[in-house]
Structure 1
């Protein structure tokens, strides 16, 4: 075999059989590798297939299945099932994934959120079996029923620990996320943590740690300290709140146990209102059939209440500016505090960054999606970053919304700020020259260099192919050495530096 391998490449099936026989005779991997002039890793990969049923290796030798398909069979220890799947995959032209699913239809990967939550050790301790996909490097859990049982038991035990904290009720959920829809569907009211406050020294330390975290320079001890300070800011639920509300415990897609807390059931709302923890809604305040207040009057009263909120917040301009910056820099959807809608004001060409040097503040850090997030917590953290950061956010998002407007107003603004298109944009082959006609490129070349139509250099340029013209013009605009070689005058250089396409201001 070794002599044959030296003359020609062996078929993978022949390698598997040969390496398997040598291993059975006691030859170590290093010896096999030397004998066949291959790497030890190559030998190990082939030996991983040596335990496959003979029929699978025969199918590989006959080129009825690929090497990758043969490798998919390594996850199964059931020879009979492997032979059944082999016949199916040959007749139906299955993929490697389909083979794995057929061999282990009930198995789940170790990346499953339930497996991440309970851990492989707990699963195996409960009798769960595992198998490994040697080539995809996946661990498969063969007993999903056991995984479900272990996961449910662990979640139930965790729920008991929360009941001991004084919550009126605790439920577990199989969902991987609890958000607005689930809360509305369950007709829950929501209580929020009572905010905490940092001392002056703690606030300074919080800012310091936050800056380190953003710079990705925070060690484990620092993250622990920051989490403790953040917990103070977030506050806690009072004993009275816990006595009237509960929580739902669930496992997120990463396998982390999370809670959605402070939920007041419909039947508990009256007691929570009486305890001063909730404010009655309009529907709860009035019986529509007996109310002396008409709908039109109710709308007017709601407007008065809204006016009172606006009247009060007018006394705190800083809070208004902070809220506006927060809304602009975070995608709050329908939960926005101001009745202001953002439009899309495009500022990025389809050619991307080719020749384009827009201020990074206008091109990076899009508004963060806050779907399902605790906005009060996020806003507190946002304000903790300080007025300079907030004004920066407000400035860049307002600038990104600027689109000019009425002609005279636009002219007034431009007189103040003096925009220069060539400050951020330089025409090149990708963003302009390759996108216009060849004759127009010849016209630009002659115009910029003061060439007559019949000048030798103009005639020579006009004979170029379009791609060559685009490359020459790009070099003229971007390469000082090219301009020097062409003897470009100061006046011509200024013209090139300020040139813009027709109709572009």
Structure 2
């Protein structure tokens, strides 16, 4: 092999010779096996490395020849195209001259394409773990910061910080990563914290396929995310000023982090809320003000509301004149980019004058004197003020023999004054005198069927369903939690009826409900995130029908002795009457459904009501099982219902008044 010697490009060099070639005489070779262009980041890294350390590895070149085989004076780079591009980038930036001398090795014997391929195939990349630890060593031994290391290797300081963090993980994690027991994503999840003990503890807890997000969650489970409402409310800067440490995640795009001292953060939240509560109490004159991280729903607080401020005719006229002048000035100067100083000054005067009149709505002084404010933290990280809350001991006493005052916190008492039963239901109660009461199990069974019937009927009346929903919403928004006389389980607690009455879902109402659910399921998207787009394009009538179906599934009129809700049971009667519920198409009295589960006296009563007294008397001497079967035969097709399943007729309107349907003209948009 030819001995290497330093030559110039003036004479034709021999194979293996080390020569100096001006940069502008180095060209890309079409025999280079790497056809995919180098990325800008790779070229940047070459340029940074060359600028800091020079060309560490000489490019391998071959002599360029013309069509006649004579040297052209240029050289084709067979190995080292990335270095050539890095040098050209430095020349473009005027960091070096275009004629910068480049040390090269001449290959005049081997096939240029083969050695280019060999260079890329036979080399082994450094394991990332070695790279991470090498960066860490540079920082520790040479004292280089992230910016300087990045400049020497052509990467950003942020990337360097990531590699330094990865290089600083617990040795056990790094070894597991080298052996293939951890992926890079998993290692980055561990590196979110620099606590080696915690890293090794979590390593022993996870399996080989644990996703990175799960590891990151476990690593930070005792910390608070920087986008947590508490952190946004207090502010990360204020938390840090109070001595709290912040853990930054170097491996997410937004650089999110965690606040490590949750107890300190909670103290700061309460302190800030307390300050806001005291401030609003003094400024607005409430009897009391308290701060809570979350609203204390269990306190059973009542509520008062602001009322429209009554103003004198003179004040009304003055406010109207000021408002009209304000609008006129704005209109007259609408085209002006900058308001004239005299106009701007006058607008400020008008605004101050209007504010001097106070708000249009205000709390009465006596309400302020007995109610207060609760300040809580909302889900979006801002303080929420709940005003006008009344403690139980501050509530006004109920008038004993007078109708309750309407329009304030006692407005909901109108519901409470409604009779618990009416019409046929009341008559049935009177008729039960002298008879043994129904068993709890039968009451559950019958009212479960009644509930299925109510659900089915409500689903068929979208306007009434809307009324039911609005009624329940209003009860929860405007009335105390102990006064909720509604049959609707507004949170849509979908109570299964099968445990009360096996087979109810296979009955007529149950099947109609199931068919309706299936029909809607085929129309709605499979993914919840896609539902909104579908509903936005849905017609008003379809939306109401869907509302009716969903609301109907929240109805619970089951008379469970372990869940006594007399207000709801009374409302079930009211709703059944309003819907015109007819249970004869939903439930049939048979030996299994009713007659075999009640006393003989009740069987005979049913036959007497549904058929005749004569037929009832014929059953008197029968055994219970025979009587139940005979009653089923006699009652069949008669439409008889036990009192619990009967619907009271609507009250007859007074003479001269038109008895309109409860749904008539109530919702003109329902037919859209």
**TM bracket, shorter-chain basis:** 0.3 to 0.5
Higher helix share: 1
TM-score (ref. length: structure 1)? 0.47
Please say which structure displays the higher CA radius of gyration: 2
